[in-house]
Amino acid sequence: MSATQTAPKPRGRQFFANPGPTNIPDSVLLACAHQTVDFNDSNFIEVYDACVAGLKRVLKTEQTVFLYTGSGHAAWEASLVNLLSTGDTVLILESGHFSISWGKMAQDLGIEVQSVAADWRRGVDMAAVRAALAADTARTIKAVCVVHNETATGMMIPVPEVRAALDAAGHPALLLADTISSLGSLDFRMDEWGVDAAVGGSQKGLMLPTGMSFTGVSAKALEAHKSSKLPKHYFHWTNMLQRPLKSFLGTVPVSFFYGLQESLRLIEQEEGLENVFARHSRLARAVRAAVQHWSGNNGPQLFCLNPGRYSDSVTAVLMPEGLNADALRQVALKRFNLSLGGGLGPLGGKVFRIGHLGDLNEPMILGTLATVELAMQVAGVPHTPGGIAAAIASLAAA
Ligand SMILES: *Cc1c(COP(=O)(O)O)cnc(C)c1O
């Protein structure tokens, strides 16, 4: 093919294996394509109320939910500006790119950031969290921020252990949990785990387009909100409570709610939330079985070295030393129309990520894994061939 010729347009479906945004089920896409309605119309309010109730069931909370037109970053910001004042300290449990980004946001908002450093391949040491809380005898830490599922490294951080650390220290700080890439994929229990603000987004486990996010908010957090002094307007929970829908300043993005109604129906009625978790776990184990198999012959390996914390929604794969993950991703994308996630922050070029959350089944996972193996062969990446057989064995035994 000469340089002036354009590459042929690939046929067939793109296999989309990014860890967010994720595949949108056809029925959700169709539901989103709803004609405009007045958001104060009683027919819409019925849909809206049902969606908020459903979101609460998925968050496992009976407390308050506020929603925002904006991606997950908007809900991150809402959780900080509604609960804190300039000069307050937050304790960030480092887990990877997303924990760092949330911390940077806090810093830009005038919040002091204290971090519990962590080996990203093993995850934060809870003893270090307990020590940081115990050392804070002046109680300057107002909130602890944890990313439940660190999408950049493929690691799940056990939120109940963070709660236990706070309780053991008798520390009154609020517990903020980012559940953007875990909600609707991994078990998350806002009320039982004593989470004060749970941050979620539309485009990952909830299988919706990008652009809506929300926070579950505890009664304790609503109380703390009353004395928070950081500037806010669009995100202001008090302003929201005065609106008819008790959320959203301005126009409500109605199409999201028709989509959310359908995705909640798929999650809760067609499949069942616990079955959704079981499916994610089953598919995740197959992905890890393939990667562990490939790792022989100096092949790529699981980035996460802590089996108790493997993420069931995303797997980060560390390339062999000296090989570029993005070159492999380009082969997968350009030649085989498989889209994989790239490495984020300092992991750029070093890892690629296989998203296995949302609207996925065994054939899709096997197709993705087979194509990764194909791309490795084409790109000359060393590995032990036969990862697919390992994945099949894992799925057959599941
Ligand atoms: C995707 C993601 C975010 C960022 O959300 P956006 O919707 O991209 O703004 C934050 N935290 C985690 C854990 C994520 O996976």
pLDDT in tens, 79-130: 999 999 999 999 999 999 999 999 999 999 999 999 999 999 999 999 999 9
152, 230: one domain: yes
263, 324: one domain: no
Mark which of 226, 241, 268 sits at the end of a domain: 268
111, 204: one domain: yes
> What pLDDT score was predicted for residue 5?
64
Kind and range of the H or E element at 217? strand 212-217
Q: What is the mean pLDDT of the chain?
A: 97
281, 203: one domain: no
Judged against a pLDDT cut of 70, whether residue 3 lies above it is answered with no
Reduce the DSSP state of residue 265 to 3 states and report it: helix
| 99, 93 Cβ separation under 8 angstroms | yes
Query: Atom 3 in ligand 1: which residue has the minimum CA distance?
Result: 72
pTM beyond 0.85: the answer is yes
In a domain, 18, yes or no: no
In a domain, 132, yes or no: yes
292 — pLDDT class (breaks 50, 70, 90):
very high
Judged against a pLDDT cut of 90, whether residue 8 lies above it is answered with no
Which CB contacts under 8 angstroms, 24+ apart, belong to 22-27?
22/203, 22/204, 22/205, 22/207, 22/355, 22/357, 22/358, 22/359, 23/207, 23/358, 23/359, 23/360, 24/207, 24/208, 24/209, 24/259, 24/359, 25/207, 25/262, 25/263, 25/266, 25/359, 27/262, 27/266
Mark which of 249, 268, 287 sits at the end of a domain: 268
Query: Atom 5 in ligand 1: which residue has the minimum CA distance?
Result: 72
Q: What is the mean pLDDT of residues 285-297?
A: 97
In a domain, 10, yes or no: no
232, 104: one domain: yes
In a domain, 22, yes or no: no
94, 116: one domain: yes
User: Could you identify the atom of ligand 1 that is nearest to the CA of residue 150?
Assistant: 13
Question: Cα(321)–Cα(76) distance, rounded to whole angstroms?
Answer: 35
Q: What is the mean pLDDT of residues 389-394?
A: 98
68 — pLDDT class (breaks 50, 70, 90):
very high
144, 33: one domain: yes
Mark which of 225, 248, 268 sits at the end of a domain: 268
In a domain, 8, yes or no: no
Q: Which residues contact 118 (CB under 8 A, 6 or more apart)?
A: 93, 94, 95, 124, 125, 128
User: Could you identify the atom of ligand 1 that is nearest to the CA of residue 149?
Assistant: 13
Q: Is 151 in the pocket of ligand 1 (CB under 6 A)?
A: yes
In a domain, 9, yes or no: no
1 — pLDDT class (breaks 50, 70, 90):
very low
Q: Is 77 in the pocket of ligand 1 (CB under 6 A)?
A: no
277, 185: one domain: no
- Domain extent for 80: 27-268
User: Could you identify the atom of ligand 1 that is nearest to the CA of residue 19?
Assistant: 15
In a domain, 351, yes or no: yes
DSSP state at residue 248: -
Reduce the DSSP state of residue 199 to 3 states and report it: strand
Q: Is 147 in the pocket of ligand 1 (CB under 6 A)?
A: yes
214, 308: one domain: no
229, 211: one domain: yes
Q: Considering its fold, how many domains does the chain have in total? A: 2
> What pLDDT score was predicted for residue 64?
98
Q: Is 103 in the pocket of ligand 1 (CB under 6 A)?
A: no
How do beta strands 212-217 and 64-69 pair? antiparallel
Q: Which of 180, 212, 215, 313 to mutate to test the pocket of ligand 1 (most atoms within 8 A of CB)?
A: 180
